[in-house]
C-alpha cells in the first residue's frame, strides 16, 4: 500500500509534518527520476545485444565486453528500478490476505515489515557493499574473462540500488505513519490493489465454490 507522489493530500498544516513529508516526497521524486532513466538501459541492452549478434554472425567477431555490458545494463534496470517499483506498490504482495484486514491493522503490518525486514536487510546490504565496492575500485578490479570490463561499476550498482531502496523504505515509513496519524490522505492506489485482489478472489470462487470472500471453506 504505497502512497505515490501524485496521490497524497496533506490534511494537517503543521510545519514539522510538512517538512518530514516533504523529505518523503523528495525521495519519491528522486527514485521516480532514477527509475525512468534506468528504464532506457533496457533499450540500450537490446541494441547492444542485436549489434553483438550481427557482428558475430557476419564478421565472426565478438567480445566478452559486449556480453558483460548487457549484464551491466540489465543489472542497472533491476537495481535502480526496484525503489521506483516499491514506491508504486508494484512488488509482489499478498493483497488477497491483506485486503481482509482493517486499514489500521494493514498499516501496522506495513510499518513493522518496513522497519524489521526491508530496513534491516537493505541497511545490512549497504553496510556490506561499501568495502565490497571500495576494494574493487581501489584495485581497478577487472573481469576474469578475456576482454572483459572493469567490475567496480557493476558492484557499485548493488550499493546504489540498495541505498535507494533504503531511502524509499524511509519514505514509505514516513507516509505510513502520517496516514495513521491523520496527517496524510490514503492513496488511491490502495483501493486499486484491493479491488484487484477482490476480483481475483471472485474469479477463484467461480472455479471452486469452496472459496468465498472469507477464504477457503472446509
**Residue range 43-102, pLDDT digits in tens:** 999 999 999 889 888 888 778 898 999 999 999 999 999 999 999 988 776 666 677 788
DSSP one-letter string for 14-41: -HHHHHHHHHHHHHHHHHHHHHHHHHHH
Give the separation between CA 143 and CA 57, rounded to whole angstroms: 25
**Residue range 136-162, pLDDT digits in tens:** 999 999 998 888 899 999 999 999 999
**Residue range 174-198, pLDDT digits in tens:** 999 988 888 887 764 454 455 555 5
> 189 near 2, Cβ under 8 Å?
yes
Nearest alpha-carbon partner for 99 in 206, 198, 200, 216: 198
Give the separation between CA 218 and CA 211, rounded to whole angstroms: 9
Amino acid at each position: 500500500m504505497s502512497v505515490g507522489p501524485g496521490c497524497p493530500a496533506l490534511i494537517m498544516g503543521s510545519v514539522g509534518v510538512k517538512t518530514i513529508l516533504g523529505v518523503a516526497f523528495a525521495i519519491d521524486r528522486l527514485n521516480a527520476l532514477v527509475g525512468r532513466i534506468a528504464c532506457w538501459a533496457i533499450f540500450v541492452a537490446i541494441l547492444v545485444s542485436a549489434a553483438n549478434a550481427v557482428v558475430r554472425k557476419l564478421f565472426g567477431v565478438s567480445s566478452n565486453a559486449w556480453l558483460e555490458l548487457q549484464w551491466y545494463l540489465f543489472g542497472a534496470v533491476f537495481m535502480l528500478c526496484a525503489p521506483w517499483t516499491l514506491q508504486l506498490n508494484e512488488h509482489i504482495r499478498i493483497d488477497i490476505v491483506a485486503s481482509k484486514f482493517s486499514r489500521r491493522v494493514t498499516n501496522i503490518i506495513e510499518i513493522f515489515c518496513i522497519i524489521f525486514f526491508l530496513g534491516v536487510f537493505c541497511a545490512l546490504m549497504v553496510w556490506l557493499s561499501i568495502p565490497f565496492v571500495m576494494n574493487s575500485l581501489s584495485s581497478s578490479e577487472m573481469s576474469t574473462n578475456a576482454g572483459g570490463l572493469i567490475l567496480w561499476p557493476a558492484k557499485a550498482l548493488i550499493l546504489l540500488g540498495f541505498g535507494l531502496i533504503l531511502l524509499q523504505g524511509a519514505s514509505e515509513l514516513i507516509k505510513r505513519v502520517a496516514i495513521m496519524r491523520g496527517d496524510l490522505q490514503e492513496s488511491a492506489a490502495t483501493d486499486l490493489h484491493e479491488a484487484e485482489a477482490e476480483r481475483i478472489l471472485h474469479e477463484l470462487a467461480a472455479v471452486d465454490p469452496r472459496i468465498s470472500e472469507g477464504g477457503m471453506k472446509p
